[in-house]
Amino acid sequence: MFALRTLLLLLLPLCPGPGPGRGSEAKVTRSCTETRQILGARGYSLSLLPPALISGEHLRICPQEYTCCSSEIEERLTWDTEATFRGLVEESGSFLVHTLAARHRKFDEVFREMLSSAEHSLALLFHRSYGRLYSQHTPLFSGLFSRLRDYYEKSGEGLDDALVDFWAQLLERMFPLLHPQYIFSPDYLFCLTRLASSADDSLKPFGDSPRRLRLQITRAMVAARAFIQGLETGRDVVSEALKVPMSAGCKRAVMRLTGCPLCRGVPLLLPCRGFCLNVAHGCLSSQGLDPDWGAYLDGLLFLAEKIQGPFSFEQAAQSIGVKISEGLMYLQENSVAVSTQVFQECGGPPKAPARSRRAPAPPEEVGRLWTVGVEEERPTMASGNSLPRLVWELRERLGRVRGFWAGLPLTVCGDPRMAADITQEAAPCWTGTGRGRYLLPVVGGSLTEQFNNPEVDVEASNPDLQTRTRRLHLRAATIRMKAAALGRDLELEDWDEDASGSGEGQHYADDWMAGAAAVAPPARPPRPPRRDGAGGKGGGVIIRHNQGRSRTGGTSIGFHTQPILILLLSALALLGPR
């Protein structure tokens, strides 16, 4: 009997007794000291923080076990974790916004400088070549550059009209100089400009210079304007897209990810990386700009290559003075034929009295009146930012951000505030319920894969209306840039040029692709100019009335108005069946 009692005493310590209930281990091994220190440093009131673990039956998001959080603390932590997540997303994309903004500013400065340099160069060239004759008609040339700037900076309307009106007014000024012995009334000059602007081009007083200048200037201005607007639209769209609108499901998931460890009394336990990726994919995949982002970058780079090559803005600006001089030389060399045709169509003008006849120009000015500018008079860049260099920098920088939206969840989870480092995957981490390893599958970023996301419900992964609208703006800008790279201006829907209403906009043929014979732009129907008041000799302003003409011009601030057809098709594509 004594031996049996001795054996029982030896075996008694080895028998398992009644252990602590669920959560008792946490209550024994954990405290709220670290949580109180961390939240107190963040400005939380210690009076709202329990001094020790309490029952978590009141919690709405975190596990309802022993906790360091009251209801007020859990609610405030939900707000704070949401703000931290949103701030991290904006911080991750700040370099992208800066890249687009900086490229927009640099290209815009270069284009404006080229126009100003071309105007200054033309003034020097013409003052040297034409002397006082140019000084008398300086407003005519400065007015042309003003209207070119208006197209580039403001409404986007009247580019063709600006060029047509310039040549018409130039003809009104130059034709009387060829015939100082005649008097040209306003009605006669009206007949002259109407004849010069007729659809059959029977009278071409400046030869082919107006068409060539119109082709080169128009396609360069259209491309430059679409490019600048494309950069601006991309900057604004990205800036808005980074302000992530978080659904209720995402807020709860982010709170479980980064806030609940504080409530469980393990604030130094980092969330598992797979847990973070599921939350980030669920909250961000529907807010990004893919797949339109890649197409936008392709359109931007495609148009940039055209701007520095066949649609060179620099060459177009440099050619303005040369082509105007060539047109004036043609008028002088063919003055007899041009005058004969004008006199036949408009009648013979009355001769001026001997005393009122204009004195001919001095011999030294006549000899140099129609001189073409020499090469060194072409405008040069003062800032040192050449277009090829800017395009190279743009290509290099955009290459870094092509996969930005697809890689944004990885960037977010790479922050030490959001998840454990990838090198610590074997170590225990926060799984959403406690310490351990995250065993749930990690899903990808596509909407199809989000149906199997264990952390965020699928409703929270569908794009909202604001995201769809941003993608629509980006897609419309891409369409406009690709059209401009092909010589088409979708913002100038000239219905009186295309009675069928195809909505394809204006198209400007490519001289370098047409071989020896350049393809002419579509013929314009006759639209005789009308004078605003009687005016003086050669001093009238041509007013063009475009009946039935609808032009939609963008602005340089915010998102630009797009053609209705583009918006309709894109809206159907984005808002259609999911």
> Helix, strand, coil: what percent of the chain each, to 5?
55, 5, 40
pLDDT band at 510 (very low <50, low <70, confident <90, very high): very low
pLDDT band at 492 (very low <50, low <70, confident <90, very high): low
pLDDT over threshold 90, residue 213? yes
Share of the chain above pLDDT 90, in %: 43
Note the pLDDT of residue 289.
Answer: 87
- Choice between 2 and 482, residue whose per-residue pLDDT is larger: 482
Structure token digits, residue 49: 């923080």
C-beta atoms surrounding 161 within 10 Å: 17
- Choice between 485 and 547, residue whose per-residue pLDDT is larger: 485
- In angstroms, the CA 160 to CA 82 distance is 52
Average pLDDT over residues 75-99: 94
pLDDT over threshold 60, residue 1? no
Note the pLDDT of residue 30.
Answer: 65
- In angstroms, the CA 472 to CA 413 distance is 29
For 369-423, how does the pLDDT look when each residue is reduced to its tens digit (9 = 90+)? 444 444 444 444 444 468 889 999 999 999 889 999 999 999 999 999 999 888 7
pLDDT over threshold 80, residue 494? no
pLDDT over threshold 70, residue 433? yes
pLDDT over threshold 90, residue 367? no
- In angstroms, the CA 538 to CA 545 distance is 20
Average pLDDT over residues 102-110: 94
Note the pLDDT of residue 167.
Answer: 93
Average pLDDT over residues 49-54: 89
Note the pLDDT of residue 203.
Answer: 84
pLDDT over threshold 70, residue 215? yes
Half-sphere exposure of 457 (CA within 13 A, CB side): 7
Q: Which residues contact residue 399 at a Cβ distance below 8 angstroms, ignoring those fewer than 6 apart?
A: none
For 462-475, how does the pLDDT look when each residue is reduced to its tens digit (9 = 90+)? 677 888 899 999 99
N-terminal to C-terminal alpha carbon distance within the chain: 82
- Choice between 304 and 571, residue whose per-residue pLDDT is larger: 304
pLDDT over threshold 90, residue 486? no
pLDDT over threshold 60, residue 498? no
DSSP H helical ranges for 155-242: 159-178, 186-196, 209-241
CA torsion sign for 555, 477, 292, 505 is: positive
pLDDT over threshold 90, residue 330? yes
For the whole model, what pTM was predicted? 0.76
Q: Which residues contact residue 404 at a Cβ distance below 8 angstroms, ignoring those fewer than 6 apart?
A: 93, 96, 293
Note the pLDDT of residue 228.
Answer: 95
- In angstroms, the CA 39 to CA 55 distance is 19
pLDDT band at 318 (very low <50, low <70, confident <90, very high): confident
Mean pLDDT is lowest, of 29-33, 41-45, 326-330, 528-532, for 528-532
Note the pLDDT of residue 548.
Answer: 37
pLDDT over threshold 60, residue 299? yes
pLDDT over threshold 60, residue 45? yes
pLDDT over threshold 90, residue 427? no
pLDDT over threshold 50, residue 564? no
Note the pLDDT of residue 458.
Answer: 67
pLDDT band at 91 (very low <50, low <70, confident <90, very high): very high
- Choice between 450 and 496, residue whose per-residue pLDDT is larger: 450
- Choice between 521 and 354, residue whose per-residue pLDDT is larger: 354
- Choice between 484 and 531, residue whose per-residue pLDDT is larger: 484
Note the pLDDT of residue 206.
Answer: 92
Structure token digits, residue 538: 């050669």
118-130: buried (b, 16+ CB within 10 Å) or exposed (e) per residue? bbebbbebbeebb
Mean pLDDT is lowest, of 4-18, 260-274, 340-354, for 4-18
Helices and strands, number each (H, E), in the chain: 20, 6
pLDDT over threshold 80, residue 131? yes
- Choice between 554 and 402, residue whose per-residue pLDDT is larger: 402
DSSP state of 423: G
pLDDT over threshold 60, residue 190? yes
Mean pLDDT of the chain: 77
- In angstroms, the CA 439 to CA 519 distance is 66
Which residues share a beta bridge with 530?
Answer: 543
Note the pLDDT of residue 421.
Answer: 87
